[in-house]
Amino acid sequence: MRRLVVVGTQWGDEGKGKITDFLALHADIVVRYQGGNNAGHTVVFDGKKYSLHLLPSGILNPKIHNVMANGMVINPKAFVEEINKVSTKFNLLISDRAHVVLPYHLELDKAYEALKGSKNIGTTHKGIGPTYTDKSSRIGMRVSTFIHEERFEQSLRELIREKNAELKLLNHPLLDFDAIFNEYKVYAKVMAPYVTDTSLYLNLAIESDKKILFEGAQGVLLCLDHGTYPFVTSSSPTASSVPLNTGIAPWLVEGAIGVTKAYTTRVGSGPMPSEIHGDLATQIRTVGNEFGTTTGRPRRIGWLDTVILRHTKRVSGLSYLAVTLLDVLTGIDELKIAVNYTLDGVIIDRIPAEIEDFERCVPNYITMPGWSEDITGVKSYEDLPFNAKKYLEKIVELIGVPIGMFSVGPDRNQTIMVKDIF
């Protein structure tokens, strides 16, 4: 495949960064197509640890061209902080049509979350929802405006007036135009040299047969359209959103690899039918280091849920699975897999649209025997213990998607390719 999408199949944090880093070694171009600095993963390069939130995963490799496409929302301050930490030479292009996250978006994110009280979404407070809201309401700011000083000044002046009126209603501190303008026009100057029409660039790259990896952020269950609404993010991490979010034709996307944790995790609020508590959840959280990269919050833990994964396959499209963190399950006697739900006495194999109905879904499980052998050093599928292979085979059978790769630890050499996919 020459054009592959990396998709998170659950609620995010599936280990997409690690899979993207691995596949990026074979890519000419890596494209981030949605979300903003609500995402996050750690990359180790030349013995140095980098936390990436906005920049595409190919940024540390000078041979790779990186694109931040039109579907993204970019916080200029976070952007400047992030590129300043990259000590290698890099290649980067930013879409002139991506939207800019401004300080009032962060304030509104916090204010609306506080207003919702215990019914809040549990957002990352990075201003993502308010920025996409403004985009849809046609009062957002494109990068093209942001880097044009007079237009930025005029637009910001009007927007701050409107947003301060909104913040006042919410009893939230107001913002000062001059302070924001003076700070942000400096960021605009740093950003400007990277800005271009990235759709044009990508279409030309495809004409010259470049290998392109599209890097999704979050997971399909957090998709605004197909996720567990309203406990979702405000963009679409599906493979099906790539054409719209990058400006290429749908048929130019050749396939998607669905990154799937060997169990389930979730941060933030909202139903999670296969959630578990107690000692086993603590064990998995500790061994899997299940704490958010962006917020540090402990992640909720659950058994693998294949209703979710079949849903993701339908709404996103998945050519292969990349099963991650398989090693975290080592030493657990019996592993459960959710195969369907019971809702009001009826067995269902779908995610209800109404969140109240989803909350009442009780998963039905099958049980698989676990393994106790250390698998962190395996180099091939054949090296895996019998029961680990059976576990993976069951996943393939239940979802109907072949395994393209799997991983057994955080290092790049602990990722094992099963199929030649990219």
Catalytic annotation, residues: 13, 41
Task: Please say which residue, 34 or 155, places its beta carbon nearer to ligand IMP.
Answer: 34
Q: Which residue's Cβ lies closest to ligand IMP? A: 268
The verdict on whether omega for the bond into residue 363 sits within 30 degrees of 0, i.e. cis, is no
| CA atoms of 327 and 330, how far apart (whole Å) | 5
Q: How far is the CB of 16 from ligand IMP (least distance, A)?
A: 9
Tally the residues of the chain: 422
| Pair 68, 93: CB distance under 8 Å | yes
Residues forming beta bridges with residue 343, ordered by sequence position: 346
Candidate list 100, 191, 217, 329; residue touching ligand IMP; CB under 6 A: 217
Task: Please say which residue, 104 or 371, places its beta carbon nearer to ligand IMP.
Answer: 104
DSSP-derived pairing of the beta strands 334-343 and 362-369: antiparallel
Task: Please say which residue, 144 or 269, places its beta carbon nearer to ligand IMP.
Answer: 269
Candidate list 101, 128, 323, 328; residue touching ligand IMP; CB under 6 A: 128
Q: How far is the CB of 265 from ligand IMP (least distance, A)?
A: 8
- Locate 353 and state its tokens: 């649209």
Which of helix, strand or coil describes residue 397? Answer: helix
Q: How far is the CB of 402 from ligand IMP (least distance, A)?
A: 26
Check binding of 12 to ligand IMP (CB under 6 A).
Answer: yes
Check binding of 55 to ligand IMP (CB under 6 A).
Answer: no
Candidate list 23, 39, 94, 262; residue touching ligand IMP; CB under 6 A: 39
Task: Please say which residue, 57 or 155, places its beta carbon nearer to ligand IMP.
Answer: 57
Check binding of 134 to ligand IMP (CB under 6 A).
Answer: no
Q: How far is the CB of 334 from ligand IMP (least distance, A)?
A: 28
| CA atoms of 214 and 66, how far apart (whole Å) | 10
Check binding of 129 to ligand IMP (CB under 6 A).
Answer: yes
Task: Please say which residue, 112 or 303, places its beta carbon nearer to ligand IMP.
Answer: 112
DSSP class of residue 291 equals: B
Check binding of 216 to ligand IMP (CB under 6 A).
Answer: no
DSSP-derived pairing of the beta strands 320-324 and 304-305: unpaired
Task: Please say which residue, 283 or 293, places its beta carbon nearer to ligand IMP.
Answer: 293
| CA atoms of 307 and 377, how far apart (whole Å) | 31
Residues forming beta bridges with residue 31, ordered by sequence position: 67, 214
Check binding of 267 to ligand IMP (CB under 6 A).
Answer: yes
Q: Which residues contact 194 (CB under 8 A, 6 or more apart)?
A: 92, 93, 94
Which residue type is seen at 285? R
| CA atoms of 313 and 326, how far apart (whole Å) | 20
Check binding of 237 to ligand IMP (CB under 6 A).
Answer: no
Residues forming beta bridges with residue 43, ordered by sequence position: 50
Candidate list 61, 66, 124, 164; residue touching ligand IMP; CB under 6 A: 124
Contact positions vs ligand IMP (CB under 6 A): 11-13, 38-39, 121-124, 126, 128-129, 217-218, 222, 231, 233-234, 267-268
